[in-house]
């Protein structure tokens, strides 16, 4: 097996090398086409070092766009990058092609490895390839998140340059325009240009609202909002410092904390995703090794129990991989693109028959179930529509039921196949079977198969009748000269096999189990929303800290009132968005009452203290006095924010390690150690008993 594995790996490596050479020659030939030359003219004057690679990715973008399967993934990545690059078609194409190319560079070798390792197990091969399709999205999401993190780091440098430009021009829009001309940071330059266009437009307020809907992160929203307020109401000097520049410094500190948080999360989770999927790739090699070293385990690994453990490990791996992705999620651009897509769920929902079924299953609007689902979706920050969630639930339910029935039938067929094809051992073997032993065992199997065909459909036949047929030689001559004890042993073996073959049919309790699994599949999307909501609750403190920063920036700007602060909090809220929105809607009918209701709608004490300060600012004291501790204790809040992030990352890390290592532990304990120990002890006990019986005789 080892030599065959090495041979397959060498053949696969040579195949990859030849494919890469052919692809290089093909692309090099195509580089001289008129389409490429036209792109080259558009990029005249660029640096020679980056020219060839940029042109290669532009050409690859066109090829990917023409390839049906790859086109779907290309457009999905493009939709996310368009938000970051803001109308920069060239950069969007380059980055989209780069991400898809890198993903293919990971997936293609992985596919070859899967084919080499699991070619003998068709079912496992199919499951792994389907799982691989799911992993493609995760790989691409990770690469887009890196670009999003890159943009965040560019914003730090951008704000630093804005400070110098603002000192020079003393005008917000001019400072932004000046810094936006920097082509070394294309992603940030495009955002700066867009903010500049908002500020100089005829209706900057409405344009600003439009920008809020497409901004890649909340810090750019804050920057755009503060720039607009400063342009409209003017700047102030506080403690010999420009208020605008002081606010820029506050936003910069927030971004620095966020960058540190993301870097630490990436470091904590960088290997957990890989660790969680390794067990599913190691199933077949581990099985082959165990059988080659300990032949007595073959009945387990090739039988019903081993197959069930395999399925459980694959299911656990899939769930853990999914949970780690949700746990690591930092809420970047992925959330901004969800509603802009026209997913397959929406297309299905437009079919009248399906729409009628989904509407029947969905809770009626205004009912208790509808309110619970709505709250759960908001708590989880889900951008899905209710009908999409119910389409997912129904499809997962149907697929789970169908797959369960298929697997139960497959297990029965696997057992029957083992009865007819596995070598029949009439004694226990603790080591590797010799060729002579294996040949003898296969002859026993072939002989038993003839008797199984002869007695087919008679599972309740008595052992004595089978023994009589063997002695008389009606089926074959194998037992004509055998002793009565040998014939009786063979008859009992055939009787056992006959009952096994007859009993391996779909049972009523298996149908019941399939229904239970289907119900679990139906509930899975709701459970996932609950998990996401629990993970988001860990970040409540972080969001309240961000509210403090927003209030700190707004409270010293003239003409800012409590209503404006609430609107800003609503804009940047994630966890507390629903109660704040409700408060904003009720504000005009009574400010104090609306804020009192907000206090009742939330239970998190630090946020309630913010609401109480807002209540004081409504009627009693100025906003600046109501939140004076934010300014005087700024350093304390910064340190508290850092400590809060450390706790959050540590807690997520602990949860992630438990989830990430679970499949690996189950693989080694449940699929290797326990079978070896249990089957080995049973086999040894049987051998000792046989030896004792022989000695006694």
- Confidence band, pLDDT 50/70/90 cuts, at residue 418: confident
- Residue 334 confidence (pLDDT) above 60: no
* C-alpha span between 496 and 64 (Å, rounded): 58
Please give the backbone phi and psi of residue 689, each rounded to the nearest 5 degrees, phi first.
-65, -40
Judged by DSSP in three states, 559 sits in coil
Q: Can you give the pLDDT at residue 1?
A: 44
In whole angstroms, what is the distance from residue 210 CA to residue 191 CA?
13
Residue 520 confidence (pLDDT) = 92
pLDDT for the residue numbered 518: 92
Mean pLDDT, range 423-449, rounded to an integer: 68
Task: Give CA torsion, residues 335, 336, 340, 344, to 10 deg.
Answer: -10
Structure tokens at 129: 């390839």
> Per residue in 146-157, is it b (16+ CB within 10 Å) or e — as a string?
ebbbebbbbbee
Lowest mean pLDDT among 565-569, 642-646, 649-653, 687-691: 687-691
Is the CB of residue 37 less than 8 Å from the CB of residue 8?
no
Q: What does the pLDDT look like over 123-168, one tens digit per residue?
A: 777 777 777 777 787 788 878 888 888 888 888 888 888 988 888 8
The 3 state secondary structure assigned to 135-155 is: HHHHHHHHHHHHHHHHHHHHH
pLDDT digits (tens, 9 = 90+) for 581-637: 889 898 888 888 888 888 888 878 888 888 888 888 887 788 888 887 776 676 777
**DSSP 8-state class, residue 483:** -
Whether the per-residue pLDDT at 341 is higher than 60: the answer is no
**28 confidence band (pLDDT: 50, 70, 90):** low
The alpha carbon of residue 3 and the mean position of all alpha carbons in its chain are separated, in whole angstroms, by 36
Average the pLDDT over 407-426 and give the result: 79
Distance between alpha carbon 218 and the CA centroid of its chain, in Å?
23
For residue 476, give every residue at least 6 positions away whose Cβ sits within 8 Å of its Cβ, in sequence order, or none. 447, 450
Q: What percent of the chain has pLDDT over 90?
A: 3
Closest CA to 182 of 167, 170, 164: 164
pLDDT over 70, % of the chain: 86
Q: Predicted confidence band at 339 (pLDDT cuts at 50, 70, 90)?
A: very low
DSSP per residue, 57-72: HHHHHHHHHHSHHHHH
* Per-residue pLDDT band at 516 (split at 50, 70, 90): very high
DSSP class of 201: S
Q: Which of 225, 156, 250, 127 is nearest to 546 (CA)?
A: 250
Does position 429 have pLDDT exceeding 60, yes or no?
no
Average pLDDT, the chain: 80
Lowest mean pLDDT among 240-249, 291-300, 483-492, 680-689: 680-689
Least confident of 211-225, 242-256, 485-499, 532-546: 532-546
Domain assignments of the chain as residue spans, ordered by start:
333-535
Tell me the average pLDDT across 310-316: 86
User: What single-letter DSSP state applies at residue 226?
Assistant: H
**DSSP letter at 481?**
T
Residues 6+ apart with CB under 8 A from 97: 57, 58, 60, 61, 64, 74
**Residue 241: beta bridge partners?**
238
pLDDT value at residue 333: 37
* pLDDT for the residue numbered 332: 42
pLDDT of 256 reads 87
Assess whether pLDDT exceeds 60 at residue 678: yes
Is the model's pLDDT at 330 over the cut of 60?
no
What pLDDT is stored for residue 695 in this prediction?
56
What are the φ/ψ torsions at residue 237 (nearest 5 degrees)?
A: -105, 120
The pLDDT value recorded for residue 397 is: 93
The β-bridge partners of 238 are: 241
CA angle 425–429–435, rounded 5-degree value = 70
238 three-state secondary structure: strand
Strands 237-238 and 241-242 come out as: antiparallel
The model's pLDDT over 644-656, given as tens digits with 9 standing for 90+, comes to 778 888 888 888 8
Is the pLDDT higher at 120 or at 32? 120
The whole-number pLDDT of residue 48 equals 46
């Amino acid at each position: 097996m080892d030599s065959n594995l090495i041979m397959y790996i060498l053949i696969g490596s040579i195949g990859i090398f030849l494919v890469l050479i052919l692809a290089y020659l093909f692309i090099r030939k195509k580089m001289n086409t008129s389409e490429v030359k036209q792109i080259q003219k558009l990029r005249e004057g660029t640096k020679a070092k980056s020219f060839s690679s940029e042109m290669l990715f532009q050409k690859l973008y066109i090829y990917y766009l023409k390839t049906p399967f790859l086109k779907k993934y290309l457009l999905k990545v493009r939709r996310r990058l368009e938000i970051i690059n803001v109308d920069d078609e060239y950069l969007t194409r380059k980055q989209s092609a780069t991400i898809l190319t890198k993903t293919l560079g990971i997936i293609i070798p992985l596919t070859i490895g899967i084919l080499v390792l699991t070619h003998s197990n068709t079912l496992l091969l199919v499951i792994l390839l389907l799982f691989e399709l799911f992993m493609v999205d995760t790989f691409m999401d990770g690469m887009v998140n890196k670009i999003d993190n890159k943009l965040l780091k560019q914003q730090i440098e951008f704000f630093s340059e804005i400070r110098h430009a603002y000192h020079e021009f003393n005008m917000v829009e001019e400072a932004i325009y000046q810094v936006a001309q920097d082509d070394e940071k294309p992603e940030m330059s495009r955002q700066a240009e867009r903010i500049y266009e908002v500020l100089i437009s005829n209706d900057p307020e409405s344009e600003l609202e439009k920008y809020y809907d497409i901004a890649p992160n909340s810090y750019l929203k804050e920057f755009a909002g503060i720039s607009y307020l400063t342009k409209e109401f003017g700047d102030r000097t506080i403690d010999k410092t420009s208020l605008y520049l002081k606010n820029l410094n506050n936003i910069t500190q927030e971004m620095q904390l966020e960058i540190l948080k993301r870097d630490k999360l990436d470091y904590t989770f960088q290997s957990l995703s890989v660790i969680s999927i390794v067990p599913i790739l190691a199933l077949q090699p581990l099985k082959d090794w165990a059988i080659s070293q300990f032949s007595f385990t073959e009945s387990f690994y090739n039988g019903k129990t081993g197959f069930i453990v395999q399925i459980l490990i694959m299911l656990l791996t899939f769930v853990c991989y999914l949970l780690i992705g949700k746990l690591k999620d930092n809420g970047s651009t992925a959330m901004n693109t969800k509603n802009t897509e026209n997913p397959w769920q929406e297309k299905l929902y437009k079919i009248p028959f399906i729409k009628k079924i989904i509407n029947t299953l969905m809770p009626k609007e205004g009912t208790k179930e509808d309110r619970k689902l709505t709250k759960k979706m908001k708590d989880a920050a889900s951008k899905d529509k209710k009908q999409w969630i119910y389409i997912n639930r129904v499809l997962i339910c149907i697929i789970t039921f169908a797959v369960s029935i298929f697997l139960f039938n497959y297990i029965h067929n696997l057992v029957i196949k083992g009865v007819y094809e596995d070598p029949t051992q009439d004694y226990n073997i603790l080591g590797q079977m010799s060729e002579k032993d294996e040949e003898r065992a296969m002859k026993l199997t072939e002989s038993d198969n003839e008797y199984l065909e002869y007695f087919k459909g008679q599972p309740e036949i008595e052992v004595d009748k089978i023994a009589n047929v063997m002695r008389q030689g009606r089926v074959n001559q194998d037992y004509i000269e055998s002793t009565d004890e040998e014939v009786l042993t063979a008859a009992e073996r055939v009787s056992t096999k006959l009952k096994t073959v007859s009993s391996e049919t779909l049972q009523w309790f298996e149908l019941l189990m399939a229904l239970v699994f289907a119900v679990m599949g139906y509930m899975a999307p709701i459970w996932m929303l609950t998990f996401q909501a629990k993970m988001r609750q860990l970040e409540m403190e972080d969001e309240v800290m961000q509210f403090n920063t927003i209030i700190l920036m707004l409270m010293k700007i003239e003409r800012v009132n409590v209503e404006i602060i609430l609107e800003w909090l609503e804009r940047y809220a994630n966890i507390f968005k629903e109660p704040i929105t409700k408060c904003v809607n009720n504000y005009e009918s009574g400010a104090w009452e609306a804020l009192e209701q907000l206090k009742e709608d939330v239970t998190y004490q630090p946020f309630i203290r913010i609401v109480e300060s807002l209540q004081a600012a409504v009627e009693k004291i100025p906003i600046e006095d109501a939140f004076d501790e934010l300014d005087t204790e700024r350093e304390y809040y910064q340190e508290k924010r850092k400590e809060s992030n450390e706790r959050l990352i540590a807690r997520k890390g602990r949860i992630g390690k438990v989830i990430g290592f679970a499949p690996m532990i189950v693989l080694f304990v449940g699929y290797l150690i326990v079978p070896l120990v249990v089957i080995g002890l049973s086999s040894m006990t049987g051998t000792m008993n046989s030896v004792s019986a022989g000695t006694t005789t």
